[in-house]
Structure 1
Amino acid sequence: MGADQHHDWMGSVASALDWWQEAGVDTLVDEAPRDWLSQPVPSPATFAATAAAPVQIVDAMPAALADFIAWRTGDAVPEFEWRGLSIAATGPADAAVMVMVDCPDADDGAAGLLMTGATGALFDRMLAAIGLSRDVVHLAAVCAKRPVAGRMPREVEARLSEISKHHIGLVAPKRLLLLGNAASRAILGAEMPGTRGRLHPFNHKVGTTGVVASFHPRFLIEKPAAKAEAWKDLQLLMGDASK
């Protein structure tokens, strides 16, 4: 067991170093250790001028997370008649950090998991760079199945937005990372990268979640120069907006 733990620790360190190098990081974030998640999310009063209205929950959606995740891959959702496999969310129900992507990638269906292949490898390095892993984040997609051509149909965006917002409210994370344009539109109602660079408030029944929008790893693979900007987003996500 000790050897396996050592291997996992070394792998995480190597993954974080790979991401930092790709993002062009050449200085430490802080000289002293930091509890990244200890930074409080600004209160609803702080966001009074810009906070979104509380989410209107659709009665048909289950009020318990486990029930909701099972319902999400059933026949009551917009993607039910689409081809392919519905991929359920993963991660702790009480995760401090939630990540929402637009939809599964083409290779994800074979594994039955979100963020696999080269995209998933880069995603794992991004998480490792801020001291996280898949084991501690709640990972979900706006679309449970991959749409034709990988683009979310506009006619179901409003319903998928309602479903995704309900999902966030059930997890009630301290921070939410939105990866890509479709995820930004679904939750913040605006395109990314216009939503980048600031912490958005998302109000739900339990309180307020701080939301950060950033580039999807598949975009970063195509446009490596954007990794430096993505690193800034990750710092903002973890409460260090001053860097």
Structure 2
Amino acid sequence: MNAHTTPSARDLAATIEWWSNAGVDMDFTDDATAWLTDEEVIEPARKPDQRQDGDNPANAEQNPENKQIAAPSVQRVDLLGDSPPASLEQFHTFWMEAPGLDGIGTKGRILPRGKPQCDLMVLVCDPEESDRDTLLSGDQGKLLSNMLAAMGYAEDDTYIASALPRHTPMADTTAIATGGMDEVTALHIRLVAPKRLIALGTSILPFLGHDRSQEFTSLREINHRSVNTPLLSSEGLDAMMSMPRLKARFWRRWIEWSAGK
């Protein structure tokens, strides 16, 4: 029988190096460990005059039960005033000159383009970042031109507009629409009086009086003063450029929607 011998430090080092070269650098065990047990965390008791960082005695007095304070509601403003634009020409002037349409000012705003009483109006959330004089003059505009051609619409006969007067990335459109821009959009659509309306962008729905969580397929028309305009809403042009499958989805919706002409 071979006598049991204790491995030397050299042997142990060689063994560890062998396992390390094999890619094993962790210690494992077969014993089960209760990783998911809910353990009650017991905080040390505090003295009456002791408070944690960030405690505010004034807040404690105003909110003794530590209830969550709701965010302030958005203040609604009558952006149209007592004399709203009565024609599309007047609206264009209002769009470029009214001081309350955004918090930046009038410089840099982009006009919509097209004629009233058109067969189709296309509404996007905001202009492209590169737009200077013409709405959708960049890559998104090129995509829209190709889409209109495939759908059988002449771009010059299509009214193209945005719900916001300037490029506004990461806009809180729900708050902006609730603040009064939804009424501006509604008036804009009434003055254009299109036979059909396409709204592009998930963030554009609040301007049309719809919640952002609503399904596109559930929105079939927009009602303004007893005038029902057929509505097709879908993802934005920027999203379609990033994800080509959204182009195919839009096309399926368009075929189904246009079949109701």
Q: Same fold, TM exceeding 0.5?
A: yes
What value does the CA root-mean-square deviation take over the aligned residues? 2.4
* TM, length-normalised to structure 2: 0.63
Distance in 1, matches of 2:202 and 2:83, equals 27
- Indicate the residue corresponding to 1:234 in structure 2: 254
CA contact 1:58–1:162 (8 Å) conserved in 2? no
Cα distance change of structure 1 residues 198 and 236 upon mapping to structure 2, 3 Å threshold: farther
In the alignment, structure 1 segments of 5+ residues that lack a partner are 1-56
In the TM superposition, residue 233 of structure 1 has moved relative to its aligned partner by 2.5
In the alignment, structure 2 segments of 5+ residues that lack a partner are 1-79
In the TM superposition, residue 153 of structure 1 has moved relative to its aligned partner by 5.5
Secondary structure in 2 matching 1:209: strand
* TM, length-normalised to structure 1: 0.67
Distance in 1, matches of 2:259 and 2:218, equals 11
Matched, 1:179 2:181: no
Secondary structure in 2 matching 1:202: strand
In the TM superposition, residue 188 of structure 1 has moved relative to its aligned partner by 4.0
Distance in 1, matches of 2:134 and 2:117, equals 20
In the TM superposition, residue 74 of structure 1 has moved relative to its aligned partner by 0.8
Secondary structure in 2 matching 1:135: helix
- Indicate the residue corresponding to 2:87 in structure 1: 64
Counterparts of residues 54-203 of structure 1 (less than 5 Å): 59-79=82-102, 81-82=104-105, 85-109=108-132, 112-147=133-168, 149-152=169-172, 154-158=174-178, 159-191=180-212, 194-198=214-218, 200-203=220-223
Counterparts of residues 43-62 of structure 1 (less than 5 Å): 59-62=82-85
CA contact 1:104–1:114 (8 Å) conserved in 2? yes
Distance in 1, matches of 2:171 and 2:181, equals 13
Distance in 2, matches of 1:97 and 1:164, equals 16
Distance in 2, matches of 1:154 and 1:199, equals 17
Structure with bigger RCO (C-alpha 8 Å, 6+ apart):
1
CA contact 1:91–1:139 (8 Å) conserved in 2? yes
In the TM superposition, residue 156 of structure 1 has moved relative to its aligned partner by 2.5
Question: Matched residues, percent identical?
Answer: 24
